[in-house]
Amino acid sequence: MNYLAPVADMLFNMEHVADLHAISQLPGYEDASLETAAAVLGECARFNQDVVAPLNWTGDQEPSQVHEGVVSTTPGFKAAFRKFAEAGWQGVQHGTHFGGQGLPKLIASCCGEMLNAANLSFALCPLLTDGAIEALDTAGSKAQKQAFIPRMISGEWTGTMNLTEPQAGSDLSMVRTRAVPQGDGTYRLFGQKIYITYGEHDMADNIVHLVLARTPNAPEGVKGISLFIVPKFLVAEGGSIGARNDVYCTSIEHKLGIKASPTAVLLYGDGKYPVAANGGPAQAGAIGDLVGEENRGLEYMFVMMNAARFGVGVQGIAVADRAYQKAAAFARERVQSRDIGGSAGPVAIAHHPDVRRMLMTMRAQVEGARALAMMTSACFDVAARHPDPEVRKRQQRLYEFLVPIVKGWSTEMSIEVASLGVQVHGGMGFIEETGAAQYYRDARILTIYEGTTAIQANDLIGRKTLRDAGATARAIAESLRETARALLAAAASRPDADLLGGGAAPGDSEAGSPRPGASMLARDKALRAAPDCIATQLDRAAASIDHSVAWILSQARADIHGVFAGSVNFLKLFGLACSGWQLARSALAAIQLLGEARGDPEFLRAKIICAKFHADHLLPQTQALAHAITQGADAVMGLEVEAL
């Protein structure tokens, strides 16, 4: 089954959830109209469907290879990346002064979802490059920006971030890579970095490594980490590529998924490529330039990490959508067993209630997470460009609160959705040739890299909720209640005829349909009940947020271990609540549009039913999560370590 980019859903969210029109009124975004977005997304869809998606299976079967430090990527990747670069897709959200398109993050995030859904392994290279561009644009000198950013935007060069070392995984205070000053403003770096995505490849002329390292006499811990630009090939004055730098790929990892993406082990200063500098003899040590000030490297790298964390959340949505599309197509075609209500012969499995439940779970999760990510990216755009500093501050605070949710929740969701995709396929899903298993394997890394779910959850509680005494969390809860009230008011002002319309529901006229009209009856019942159901569950989710936040604030000093024992459940509560909130806003817009006889009625009714399904099947979980957060800490911590 070929990938079909969800352009209609993205444009609906842009107009009715993320408010692209308001963003297009901001300075610098005047050209970002809905018409522009439709044109960009349409072209992006064609590119990813035709060029990138066909390489996804190839990459899984013929992954990247390394020989004597040289990585050869999957056949077809190099040519596809050249087309990607030439079409300008790397520069969608980056500044026009560097050669980018200067479009809002809202539009760029949709392009990113399409790329990742088409081919997750391929998309990792542009994702890391985006982060490197943002970090240099934030902290780099004018000369560094001019030397590196335009060539990364053009796709001539790509970027990486080098944090992890064998002894320093999530705890970057243990970084031991050394950076020795050379007296001419440059440094020689010595050390080993692991898990470096696209740390070595053949798709671009140069690779710009951003590397965390310690200078001599730097303070211990994270306060002594600096950030350096260490290109694969040295960059001469004027921007031309010079000698090979002393960076060597000793191996690439053999992984569960994303096999086509080369995850490199890099040696810095090992002497494989000794470098001469300032007329001196060639010697070991990779030449690097300091970014910003010494000992502020982690601060600068967090710019890249936050960009990457949001991007990884979008990756979760992307791979989940690809798994859903494949499962839905299979379920419509796979004929197996008679309908439980009676039929002359076997029917497509999409007619079976539990298959419907699985497919609706997948769809509701994907559409809710997508709407949440798009709303979050809109917060970023407003925070960056709004003329009122108070509005910028408020939107920045909301964006920072939502990023760990987008990353943590969307990636956890992707594993569940990809697993359901395998289940829908039955035994065929366990067979690699059907392709369903690849999405499951690929998704599994997403909850781990750029900070595990627990790291995102700890950030959500420690840096976000406790720091402002729960103000942002409670504001979100109140927004849920506002949407619930608006839904009830909108429904009260619209007759049922506006919601229900006429005609057969999709699937009623399909060959082999067991009971013509059954879907119509279920659809109409769901549409009538949707506003009350969604509003009720939003109110209960808001109460779960308030209850959990109050408990966390009350226990933060008395039982900090107990508070953080519930951190992942707290993140999941917000993931469900915020996804349901955005689906409710979608349903509200759909009700209003149906009343005005605007838009595609079946698309709009599907949005309402999807929101109701989420409210019926998923939002009630927030109450159970609140119980686990507030009552379950003692059982988490109750056994001694030796008893585990």
pLDDT in tens, 538-584: 999 999 999 999 999 999 999 999 999 999 999 999 999 999 999 99
Whether 133 shows a pLDDT value over 50: the answer reads yes
Strands 263-268 and 286-290: unpaired
Q: Which residues are catalytic?
A: 450
Q: Are 290 and 383 in contact (CB under 8 A)?
A: no
Average pLDDT over every residue of 221-240: 93
Question: What digits encode the pLDDT tens for the residues 19-40?
Answer: 999 999 999 999 999 999 999 9
Q: Rounded distance, CA 541 to CA 47, Å?
A: 40
Predicted local confidence at residue 513, as pLDDT: 55
Give the pLDDT of residue 305: 86
Residue 505 has pLDDT above 80, yes or no: no
Q: Range with the lowest mean pLDDT among 42-46, 221-225, 392-396, 514-518?
A: 514-518
Q: What is the pLDDT of residues 363-391, one digit of tens each?
A: 999 999 999 999 999 999 999 999 999 99
Tokens in use for 384?
């960056």
How distant is the alpha carbon of residue 402 from its chain centre?
12
Contacts of 40 by beta carbon, 8 Å cutoff, 6+ apart: 92, 103, 107, 111
Classify the C-alpha dihedral 567-571-576-578 as positive or negative: positive
- 54-87+119-295 maps to which CATH number? 2.40.110.20
What is the residue-averaged pLDDT of the chain?
94
pLDDT above 60 (res 124): yes
Q: Mean pLDDT across the stretch 273-301?
A: 92
What mean pLDDT do residues 515-529 have?
80
Strands 206-213 and 157-162: parallel
Mean pLDDT on 463-475? 97
H or E segment to which residue 248 belongs: strand 247-252
Decide: residue 274, CB within 10 A, 0-12 exposed, 13-18 middle, 19+ buried.
middle
d(CA 256, CA 387): 47
SS3 content of the chain, % helix, strand, coil (to 5): 60, 10, 30
Please tell me which residue, 240 or 162, carries the higher pLDDT value.
162
pLDDT beyond 50 at 511:
no
**Rounded to the nearest 10 degrees, what angle do helices 436-443 and 297-333 cross at?**
160
Among the listed ranges 233-247, 296-310, 504-518, which one has the minimum average pLDDT value?
504-518
Q: Please report, rounded to a whole number, the percentage of residues in the chain having pLDDT higher than 90.
A: 90
pLDDT, tens digit, for every residue of 428-445? Answer: 999 999 999 999 999 999
Q: Which helix (DSSP H) or strand (DSSP E) does residue 191 occupy?
A: strand 186-197
Tell me what pLDDT residue 264 has.
98
Q: How confident is the model at residue 509 (pLDDT cuts 50, 70, 90)?
A: very low
Mean pLDDT of 483-489: 96
The whole-number pLDDT of residue 518 equals 65
CB 379 within 8 A of CB 398: yes
Residue 191's φ and ψ, nearest 5 degrees, are: 160, 180
Instruction: Please give the structure tokens belonging to residue 359.
Output: 């497919």
Cα gap 46→99, rounded to integer Å: 23
In this structure, are residues 350 and 328 in contact, taking their beta carbons and an 8 Å threshold?
yes
- First-to-last alpha carbon distance for the chain, in angstroms, is 45
Task: Report how far residue 134's alpha carbon sits from residue 306's, in angstroms, rounded to the nearest whole number.
Answer: 10
pLDDT digits (tens, 9 = 90+) for 328-342: 999 999 999 999 887
Q: What's the CA gap between 579 and 405, in Å, rounded?
A: 10
Confidence band of 314 (pLDDT split at 50, 70, 90): very high
Q: Give the pLDDT confidence score for residue 152 in this predicted structure.
A: 98
Helix axes 353-385 and 601-617, enclosed angle (nearest 10): 100
pLDDT-derived band at 517 (thresholds 50, 70, 90) equals low
The Cα 210–Cα 134 span in angstroms is 12
CATH 2.40.110.20 domain range(s) in the chain: 54-87+119-295
Report, as an integer, the average pLDDT of 38-58.
98
Is the pLDDT confidence value at 502 over 80? no
Please name the residue that has the structure tokens 């439940």: 357
Q: Residue for token digits 């969390």?
A: 473
Q: How far is CA 205 from CA 82, 140, 380, 637, in A?
A: 11, 21, 32, 52
pLDDT at 515 over 70: no
Q: What is the pLDDT of residue 236?
A: 87
Sign of CA dihedral 372, 374, 378, 384: positive
pLDDT higher for 515 or 641? Answer: 641
Cα radius of gyration (the chain): 25
Q: Are 85 and 154 within 8 A, CB to CB?
A: yes
**pLDDT band for position 514 (cuts 50, 70, 90):** low
Is 180 strand, coil or helix?
A: strand
Categorise residue 185: left if φ over 0, alpha if ψ from -120 to 50, beta otherwise: left
Judge contact between 335 and 502, C-beta under 8 A.
no
